[in-house]
Amino acid sequence: MADIGSRKADHLDLATTGDVGFRSRTTLFECVELVHDALPELDVAAIDLSCTVLGKRLAAPILIAAMTGGTERAQRINRELASIAEERGYAFGLGSQRAILKNRESLPTYGVRDVMPRALLLGNLGVVQASKLSTEEVRDLVGLVQADALCIHLNPAMEVVQAEGDRDFRGGLATLERLNSELGVPVIAKETGCGLSGSVADRLRARGIRHVDVSGAGGTSWVAVEMHRATGANKSLGQTFRDWGIPTAASVGLMARRGFDTVFATGGVKDGLDIAKAIALGASAGGIARGALQALEAGGRAGAVSFFERLEGELRTAMLLVGAKDLAALRQAPRLVRGELADWLTL
Ligand SMILES: Cc1cc2nc3c(=O)[nH]c(=O)nc-3n(C[C@H](O)[C@H](O)[C@H](O)COP(=O)(O)O)c2cc1C
């Protein structure tokens, strides 16, 4: 059985260069058309991308989503991306903190607060691990990394394809409810590439959960990642379920009408136009994981910075071209929702 360190190394390698996208399933952002305004009456330089998420001011609605921790390479990636988040006013998510539970010496690989003293920092733990810990133990994990909020990730599809993965998912909702009421920092229910449905949203809302990261289908397929690592029956299971999940745009639309305080739109967000569409559908911010990692690994810090500059430029341009001077106006912008996305939103 692979230990956490070698699994994390496999994940980073596969996410950087592997064939881990969805095959035919897309985010469905292509089904959203924002309507062009030929008379925007705006100065591009005055368009305001800022917003408040989980009580902290962001200069732009961008989350660098949870990826890693636990190894030296993870430490370098976390610190580089976290410092970019601080510099540019984004939110940043640490990868699963499970490794700290196994080995306290891995804590420095999650240590980003010195390079990110102000920006919104999200801790991360799987729901199955969280269900085995007391609230005090989870609070300790949050405190160790000085996170502002904790993502509890839900990843049943990935786990069942992983040979060493979890198989018993009972008690997840009760764990989310307990942590949400006892932890003392906001709890975010986060998928990992398969999206959140309207029914899950209703169950979360009924238990008082107010923040979600949809992490929908159409970007990184974690079933595909585990399929590459698997052998035998697990590999074949991964091949069958590689494209499983709810497209990101559909999941955002389904969350938006349920009144969550925070909706992160993660999963296959590839450019600033996707972020604009996500915000128009009701997201608080767009999240990017693999694209940020690839930009960093291919081009170093400068590569990652130019990736985010492009994203912001595209978002600003989309806002100009729909005549939206700020994100509140973008949420009201006229749009057309077509095809499969329209079908999802009637669910
Ligand atoms: C290398 C890598 C490691 C990840 N590890 C975690 C994790 O530990 N916890 C988690 O909640 N999500 C994890 N994710 C999932 C991402 O946060 C994100 O939800 C998902 O990859 C979809 O976004 P994307 O299409 O932009 O990659 C990981 C993603 C990548 C690429």
The answer to which of 2-16, 24-38, 75-89, 299-313 has the lowest mean pLDDT is 2-16
Q: How far is the CA of 346 from the centre of ligand 1 (A)?
A: 28
3 state DSSP class of 82: helix
Q: In this predicted structure, what is the pLDDT of residue 5?
A: 80
Q: Cβ-count burial of 170 within 10 angstroms (0-12 exposed, 13-18 middle, 19+ buried)? A: exposed
Task: Please write the tens of the pLDDT for every residue from 143-152.
Answer: 999 999 999 9
Q: In this predicted structure, what is the pLDDT of residue 4?
A: 80
2 band by pLDDT with thresholds 50, 70 and 90: low
What's the rounded mean pLDDT across residues 276-288? 98
Q: In this predicted structure, what is the pLDDT of residue 1?
A: 47
Atom number, ligand 1, closest to the C-alpha of residue 222: 21
Q: In this predicted structure, what is the pLDDT of residue 347?
A: 85
Atom number, ligand 1, closest to the C-alpha of residue 65: 17
User: What is the β-pairing status of strands 32-34 and 211-213?
Assistant: unpaired
Q: How far is the CA of 25 from the centre of ligand 1 (A)?
A: 18
For the chain, the C-alpha Rg in angstroms (whole number) is 19
Rounded CA separation 24/214 (Å):
19
3 state DSSP class of 219: coil
Q: Is residue 319's pLDDT more than 80?
A: yes
Whether 216 lines ligand 1, by a CB cut-off of 6 Å, is no
Amino acid at 177: E
Task: Please write the tens of the pLDDT for every residue from 94-104.
Answer: 999 999 999 99
Q: How far is the CA of 323 from the centre of ligand 1 (A)?
A: 33
Q: How far is the CA of 324 from the centre of ligand 1 (A)?
A: 31
Q: In this predicted structure, what is the pLDDT of residue 272?
A: 98
